[in-house]
Amino acid sequence: MPIRRHDALRPLSRDHHFALQLARGVQSTTSPTLRAQLPKEPRALADHVIRAFRDELEPHFVAEDEVLTAAILGKDAELDGVWREIEREHVEVRDLVAQLGDRSLEDARVEALLDRLGRLLEAHVRKEERSLFERIQEVLDEPTLARLGAELERRHPPRATAL
Ligand SMILES: [Fe+2]
């Protein structure tokens, strides 16, 4: 069943579409179709991922870390629990991307890191969509959601070009 996403969270969900494509594309078991759109060599693929993270995903993480924390913490035990997991995963993803920046890594190690990052990022995005955002929509009232949406738009404006 497709998830009905509140307007306030829709820009973050659009970023998630991009993140999922990347996350699935770098996994070792990815389909040739997804891999075809990405650099072939492990080092080139790692550099692509590092750039994509810096330009697209890090601003998204920052918006979530700053805006969501302020809006949701302390309102609901389940929501707080999911949010703590999400925060930890943001740290793990950033750490894996930082490890990928080590240019002395052998190709096999780069591929292993990319696979780990891809799996983590895919599971992370799905958790945000299925658990975090769903619970946010259940717990926050309309005015709070509207304020959250406005604050997200101010801190993380939609990109001029489609991702
Ligand atoms: Fe996210």
pLDDT digit string (tens) for 75-129? 999 999 999 999 999 999 999 999 999 999 999 999 999 999 999 999 999 999 9
Q: How far apart (Å, rounded) are the C-alpha atoms in residues 19 and 3?
A: 17
pLDDT on residue 160: 58
Q: For the purposes of burial, counting CB atoms within 10 Å of the CB of 46, is it exposed (0-12), middle (13-18) or buried (19 or more)?
A: buried
Percent of the chain with pLDDT over 70: 95
Report residue 7: phi and psi, to 5°: -50, -40
Cα of 95 from ligand 1 centre, angstroms: 16
Cα of 90 from ligand 1 centre, angstroms: 9
Cα of 104 from ligand 1 centre, angstroms: 30
Cα of 112 from ligand 1 centre, angstroms: 23
DSSP 8-class letter at 8: G
Domains detected in the chain: 7-155 (1.20.120)
Cα of 59 from ligand 1 centre, angstroms: 10
Q: Residue 36's pLDDT band (boundaries 50, 70, 90)?
A: confident
Cα of 101 from ligand 1 centre, angstroms: 22
Average pLDDT of the chain, as a whole number: 93
pLDDT, mean of residues 42-61: 96
Q: Residue 31's pLDDT band (boundaries 50, 70, 90)?
A: confident
Closest listed residue to residue 131, CA positions, set 60, 75, 76, 79: 79
Q: Residue 163's pLDDT band (boundaries 50, 70, 90)?
A: very low
| Torsion region of 157: left, alpha or beta (phi above 0 gives left; psi -120 to 50 gives alpha) | beta
Residue 155 clears pLDDT 50, i.e. is over it: yes
Q: How far apart (Å, rounded) are the C-alpha atoms in residues 41 and 71?
A: 42
Cα of 28 from ligand 1 centre, angstroms: 23
116, HSE (Cβ side, Cα atoms, 13 Å): 15
Across the chain, the runs of DSSP E, i.e. the strands, are none
Q: Is the pTM of this model over 0.85?
A: yes
pLDDT digits over 5-26, tens only? 999 999 999 999 999 999 999 9
Cα of 42 from ligand 1 centre, angstroms: 25
Cα of 91 from ligand 1 centre, angstroms: 13
Cα of 106 from ligand 1 centre, angstroms: 30
Cα of 29 from ligand 1 centre, angstroms: 23
